[in-house]
């Protein structure tokens, strides 16, 4: 298992991605009619600034950690639910979870852009990106503060055979699950307030709920997260995905 530590979920140049989002807000095509959601440069700067601050804090915190200062994992402190996944290990499930996230992100962005909203064409995909960036920043910050060992470090078979590093203690909460829930629930909100057919709206909500659940299963099967990591990550990601579209609702004018 040595050398197979967890991978980071989002690419490194997050600030560049945020800059691209802000550029779309400021220099995107003008609105033809008022839609269900609007982008406001000042508000988007605040959202992206918060996400950038969270990511910056998590990177700073990670740099302060030293592997030899981390306490050993204690399996006797795990609840019965979490103990059930100790011993799980699957590189195939880990790779599948990465593929699922990439697919969910691509489909969510495409669906958000394609759903007929009127108004600012780039508002829906920008909101999906903001949801992902906020969820990722919040997740990474909490991971670095909690420093929970991943399930595979509690496996007695690894005692004395594997020297854990800082990235092996980022179990709480599941970033894959939280970020997937953020973008899928955000997309479902956008589709719900669009002119899409009722069947499309129902499909969007079913997908929004099911995909993060599948992600959580894969992360547990891979041995990277406990059930409690997945449950909390799901809840936090869904909350972010619901909140971002809510604060972007267009104000009705007469």
Structural domain contains residue 184: yes
The Cα 21–Cα 239 span in angstroms is 21
Cα dihedral 142, 63, 168, 222 sign: positive
Structural domain contains residue 112: yes
Task: Tokens 């007929």: give the residue.
Answer: 116
For the ranges 76-80, 143-147, 208-212, the one whose mean pLDDT is highest: 208-212
The Cα 152–Cα 67 span in angstroms is 16
Question: Once rounded to an integer, what is the mean pLDDT over residues 211-239?
Answer: 98
Task: Tokens 């709206």: give the residue.
Answer: 201
* Higher-scoring residue by pLDDT: 157, 13: 157
User: According to DSSP H, which parts of 118-251 are helical?
Assistant: 123-146, 175-192, 198-221, 227-247
Structural domain contains residue 204: yes
Please count the other Cβ atoms lying within 10 Å of the Cβ belonging to residue 99: 10
Question: Once rounded to an integer, what is the mean pLDDT over residues 98-105?
Answer: 97
Please count the other Cβ atoms lying within 10 Å of the Cβ belonging to residue 79: 10
The Cα 212–Cα 217 span in angstroms is 9
Query: Which segment of 48-62, 113-127, 163-177 scores lowest on mean pLDDT?
Result: 113-127
Picking from 78, 135, 67, 97, the residue whose alpha carbon sits closest to that of residue 220 is 97
CB 219 within 8 A of CB 176: yes
pLDDT confidence of 250, banded at 50, 70, 90? confident
Domain boundaries, position 200: 100-151+174-249
Structural domain contains residue 146: yes
Structural domain contains residue 117: yes
Residue positions counted in the chain: 254
pLDDT confidence of 15, banded at 50, 70, 90? very low
pLDDT confidence of 157, banded at 50, 70, 90? confident
Q: How many domains, the chain?
A: 1
Structural domain contains residue 6: no
* Higher-scoring residue by pLDDT: 173, 67: 173
Q: Quick one: pLDDT at residue 145?
A: 94
CA-to-CA separations, 243 to 52, 231, 238, 249, in angstroms, rounded: 18, 18, 9, 10
Question: Once rounded to an integer, what is the mean pLDDT over residues 21-25?
Answer: 42
Alpha-carbon Rg for the chain in angstroms: 19
Strand partners, 37: 249
Cα dihedral 133, 233, 225, 96 sign: negative
* Higher-scoring residue by pLDDT: 88, 76: 88
Model pLDDT for residues 105-131, shown as the tens digit of each residue: 999 999 998 887 766 778 899 999 999
For residue 9, pLDDT beyond 60: no
* Higher-scoring residue by pLDDT: 241, 65: 241
Structure tokens belonging to residue 56: 């910056």
For residue 225, pLDDT beyond 50: yes
* Higher-scoring residue by pLDDT: 183, 163: 183
Structural domain contains residue 132: yes
Q: Quick one: pLDDT at residue 8?
A: 38
The Cα 69–Cα 254 span in angstroms is 62
Structural domain contains residue 133: yes
Q: Quick one: pLDDT at residue 5?
A: 45
Phi/psi at 154 (nearest 5 deg)? -90, 0
Q: Quick one: pLDDT at residue 208?
A: 98
CA-to-CA separations, 161 to 14, 20, 158, 169, in angstroms, rounded: 35, 44, 5, 17
* Higher-scoring residue by pLDDT: 92, 1: 92
Cis peptide before 173 (omega within 30 of 0): yes
């Amino acid at each position: 298992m040595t050398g197979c530590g967890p991978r980071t979920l989002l690419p490194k140049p997050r600030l560049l991605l945020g800059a691209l989002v802000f550029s779309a807000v400021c220099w995107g095509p003008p609105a033809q009619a008022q839609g269900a959601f609007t982008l406001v440069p000042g508000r988007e700067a605040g959202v992206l600034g918060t996400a950038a601050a969270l990511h910056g804090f998590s990177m700073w915190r990670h740099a302060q950690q030293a592997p030899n200062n981390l306490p050993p994992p204690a399996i006797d402190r795990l609840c019965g639910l979490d103990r059930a996944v100790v011993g799980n290990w699957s590189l195939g499930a880990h790779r599948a979870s990465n593929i699922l996230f990439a697919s969910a992100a691509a489909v969510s962005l495409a669906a958000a852009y394609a759903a007929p909203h009127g108004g600012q064409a780039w508002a829906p995909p920008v909101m999906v990106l903001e949801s992902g960036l906020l969820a990722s920043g919040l997740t990474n910050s909490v991971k670095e503060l909690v420093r929970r060992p991943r399930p595979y470090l509690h496996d007695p078979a690894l005692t004395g055979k594997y020297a854990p590093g800082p990235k092996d203690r980022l179990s709480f909460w599941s970033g894959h699950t939280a970020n997937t829930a953020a973008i899928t629930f955000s997309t479902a909100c956008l589709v719900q307030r669009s002119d899409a057919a009722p069947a499309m709206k129902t499909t969007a909500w079913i997908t929004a709920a099911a995909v993060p659940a599948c992600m959580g299963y894969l992360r547990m099967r891979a041995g990277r997260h406990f059930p409690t990591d997945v449950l909390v990550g799901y809840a936090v990601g869904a909350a972010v995905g619901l909140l971002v579209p809510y604060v972007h609702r267009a104000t009705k004018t007469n």
